Structure 1
Amino acid sequence: MPQHLPSTLAALPYAPPADDGVDIVYRDASLLLVNKPAGLLAVPGRGDGKDDCLLRRVQAIVADALIVHRLDLHTSGLLLLARGREMQRRLAGDFAARRVHKRYLAVVCGRLPAAGGAIDLPLSADWPQRPRQRVDRLAGKPSLTRYQVLGHDPASNRSRLALFPETGRTHQLRVHLQALGHAIVGDLLYGDASGAGDAGRLLLHADQLRFIHPASGRPLCVDSPAPF
């Protein structure tokens, strides 16, 4: 049985990466798309010492930037920010209506039996083991992830996947892949110690966002290559 390490993860102090400047991938008068590094909170966290976050770093450059959605602390990649309250409201509505198409890249343990598929498993909070989430077929919220296998490395017995979440539940990709039997490499919350290997981080990256620009009405597709 995998040796989950929620207590170890919870005990780790928050140590955000050095502020070497914000990687702004796209910017206009309405919105920004920036690269969040792994290990940096998207918004200020609860408790002392958790004020440093991507939102604060961006606001030091673009004062009217506001958060629209979030990425997990240990996930890297594209984060969309609105400029002003009205644009925040409109973009948040696009996310809620699933008009924003997201793609992630992940490296997982093992070899999947099919070239692609869908993981349709309802999720809910695992309250005794917060912040963990769990598959809950009775009371969980509907959650759907589509995936495509991009390759497999026999030497490490790891596979590279493209992930397309249709819903946006907390830890959705991590729980769905763990439930499939192929935890994301470096995931100390849902994987196991042996699977982490020498990854040094969670190998999950938000590499593409695609949506209709709320001001121009034109399609916008922005990519961010995974650093692994």
Structure 2
Amino acid sequence: MLQNIKTISVEDNNIRLDRYIRRIFPDLRQSVIEKSLRKGLIKVDDCKAKSSDRVNPGQTITIKYLDYIKNTNSDRKYNEKLVNLLRDSILYKDEYILAINKPRGVIVQGGEKVKISISDLLDQIREGETFKIVHRLDRDTSGVIIFARNANVARYLIEEFKERRVKKTYLALTSGTPSKDSGTIDYPLVKKYASGQEKVVVDENSPEDATTHFSIIATLKHNVAYLKLQPITGRTHQLRAHLAHINCPILGDGKYGGRKAFVDGIANKIHLHSHSLSFKLPNNKEIIITAPLSEHIEKSIKTLQNSL
């Protein structure tokens, strides 16, 4: 075990712990520092601490398993191309939140098998700022996602999502057209394992109610529908499971739609986009954040329109 012990000097009085650590190890990313603090690999006076804690002269910073921390940092390499893409995708920022038009194929929060995620790069996107995740989008869903700029805002927004006060609008292309121009899909959902994979399926006995409003924007060739979706609840894979259940799976979503989800000449990518979020900021200001469609969805719409 490689261990590093530092004693705070007078010159470093009252600075944030994470900033002090970056002075010692400037190559460590914020996300790695945060994870190491949570795991207790970095302690102050042998006690667990938070990145926002202020350090004082005479305190001792102990960093255990330094090789592990450095390897974690280097394994999730700085991805300059993705950082620049995310910077260019910023939709809105103020003292409370940062909103990004998340690209398709990018994971919001990392895990054991995840090489890189937005949460790993947020401190680089906004020059060392620490952001809090308050909701998520699937890897293959594009569109609006917001991050809180401090813990108080995070708690507020998490409660807004929980109490369903955040109005969410998605856009999707589906293989199959609903029988009505608009309506509500109201089926409870449950997670189940089948054929070695976890899926969300309709189960009338499930206590997990799920409600989705839909309306048809346009009907395209190959019986493809362009839909506006408004999920009232926020269940995992809710839109994908609901649309597959009414035999209108999202284009490109083979997990829920099987072969029906694919159309010749159309990209084999999930055609689901978080178009807008409407909510109140902590200062009671109402705000609507909208994200332009992903390039592959726009291209598919044009292809299917031109072939009518």
| TM-score bracket, shorter-length normalisation | 0.7 to 0.9
Identity rate, percent:
32
1:29 CA displacement: 1.1
Aligned residues between the structures? 209
Which residue is 1:116 aligned to? 182
Displaced runs of 4 or more, over 4 A:
none
Which residue is 1:224 aligned to? 291
Instruction: Kindly indicate whether residue 144 of structure 2 is the aligned counterpart of residue 89 of structure 1.
Output: no
Equivalent positions of 1:55-204 (< 5 A) are 55-62=119-126, 63-128=129-194, 129-153=196-220, 155-197=221-263, 198-204=266-272
Q: Match of 1:141, as an amino acid?
A: E
Gap change, CA 1:196 and 1:140, over 3 Å in 2:
farther
Residues 86-133 of structure 1 show CA distances to partners (whole Å, capped at 9, x for unaligned) of 111111010001110000000001222211000000001013453311
TM-score, length-scaled by structure 1: 0.87
Counterpart pick for 1:42 among 108, 121, 125: 108
Task: Give distance in 2, aligned partners of 1:91 and 1:184.
Answer: 29
Instruction: Kindly indicate whether residue 130 of structure 2 is the aligned counterpart of residue 29 of structure 1.
Output: no
1:30 CA displacement: 0.9
TM-score, length-scaled by structure 2: 0.65
Gap change, CA 1:25 and 1:139, over 3 Å in 2:
same
Gap change, CA 1:111 and 1:73, over 3 Å in 2:
same
Higher fraction of helix: 2
1:51 CA displacement: 3.6
Counterpart pick for 1:212 among 264, 280, 294: 280
Residues 149-181 of structure 1 show CA distances to partners (whole Å, capped at 9, x for unaligned) of 10101x222000000000000000000000011
Bigger mean CA offset, 24-33 vs 191-200: 191-200
> Unaligned regions of 5+ residues in structure 2, if any?
1-78, 298-308
Q: Match of 1:205, as an amino acid?
A: H
Q: Which has the higher contact order (CA 8 A, sep 6+)?
A: 1
Task: Give distance in 2, aligned partners of 1:219 and 1:172.
Answer: 26
> Unaligned regions of 5+ residues in structure 1, if any?
1-15
1:213 CA displacement: 1.0
